[in-house]
Amino acid sequence: MYKVMIIDDEKSLRNLLKHAIQWGELGLEIAGEAASGIEAINIIDDIKPDIAFVDIKMPFMDGIEFSKLAIQRYPDLKIVILTAFSDFEYARECIGIGVCEYLLKPIVRADIKETLEKIIKKLDAKQPKKEENEVVVQGNDTICKIKEYIHKNYTQPDLNLTSIAQTFGFNSSYLSRLFKTETGKNLIDYLTECRMEQAMAYAKQGMLMYMTAKMVGIPDPNYFGKCFKKYTNQTYSDFIKQYKNK
């Protein structure tokens, strides 16, 4: 799992970034944040991020100065500069010091995700070739084992891409791409499918929704209800009524 750091003097923007993306699904985690370049440079050695979102304008130490220092310490660090349109030309100069991407404010969720996906590909390319060779040798057998593992453990609420990747010794983003390539489905979608198929079976038996949600590993009834409706195009109660009338 790759570590992400957010550096911006605006707390609202840091919060926006933290909640704009399903980080875990991309094989990422928010490992730390800072309100200034000075604070960030003092804690970066503890966090050791793979990716950093950096505001170009901050007091005392701006994003450019921070980026120069950070890249000197961590040459492989992928920095995404956050900039207003008025500073666009200034931001472009960052490319020359090793910054890999920049995003214009106000930040758009789709742009964040697209940028992250490009960076993840670059980071994955630096992963040890041993991992890739092992996957090639093992082929669909690896995916079959993962599917079997999901079917056995989908009732666990904490089962997700990250935990499955850790169990099988893969990087999360790499496993996500491998699973999609081999099956045509996202791993998370496959997990949800397993849960919803079993949920439909329980619903046909007339089981109450909160009990079904818990039984299939989604203990939050509200979230379960959204997943169920998305999968079946029916609310849980309507689905039960349909089978009660048969």
The CATH number that applies at residue 217 is: 1.10.10.60
Q: Are residues 201 and 104 in the same domain?
A: no
Chain segment 108-148, per-residue pLDDT in tens: 889 999 999 999 988 887 765 545 555 554 557 889 999 99
- The reported pLDDT for the residue numbered 130 is 47
Largest CA distance in the chain: 71
Close Cβ partners of 79 (under 8 Å, ≥ 6 residues apart) = 51, 52, 54, 67, 70, 71, 94, 98, 99, 100, 101
Of the listed ranges 33-47, 89-103, 116-130, 225-239, the one predicted with least confidence: 89-103
Q: Are residues 241 and 143 in the same domain?
A: yes
Q: Are residues 227 and 117 in the same domain?
A: no
Q: Are residues 93 and 192 in the same domain?
A: no
Q: Are residues 80 and 183 in the same domain?
A: no
- The reported pLDDT for the residue numbered 246 is 57
CA-to-CA dists, residue 29 to 79, 98, 174, angstroms: 15, 23, 15
Residue where a domain stops, chosen among 109, 125, 141: 125
* pLDDT value at 96 more than 80: no
Q: Are residues 114 and 10 in the same domain?
A: yes
Q: Are residues 97 and 183 in the same domain?
A: no
Q: Are residues 20 and 35 in the same domain?
A: yes
Give residue 22's identity as a one-letter amino acid code: Q
Q: Are residues 117 and 159 in the same domain?
A: no
Domain holding 143, by residue range, is 130-246
Chain segment 198-225, per-residue pLDDT in tens: 999 999 999 999 999 999 999 999 999 9
The CATH number that applies at residue 120 is: 3.40.50.2300
CA-to-CA dists, residue 139 to 126, 132, 182, angstroms: 21, 10, 9
Residues 55-78, mean pLDDT to the nearest whole number: 85
Residue where a domain stops, chosen among 110, 125, 140: 125
- The reported pLDDT for the residue numbered 124 is 81
3-state percent helix, strand, coil for the chain, nearest multiple of 5: 65, 10, 25
Q: Are residues 109 and 138 in the same domain?
A: no
Round the average pLDDT of the chain to a whole number and report it. Answer: 85
List Cβ<8 Å contacts ≥24 apart for 174-181: 174/27, 174/124, 174/127, 174/131, 175/27, 175/146, 176/25, 176/26, 176/27, 177/124, 178/135, 178/142, 178/143, 179/143, 179/146
Q: How confident is the model at residue 7 (pLDDT cuts 50, 70, 90)?
A: very high
* pLDDT value at 77 more than 50: yes
Residue where a domain stops, chosen among 125, 147, 166: 125
- The reported pLDDT for the residue numbered 238 is 92
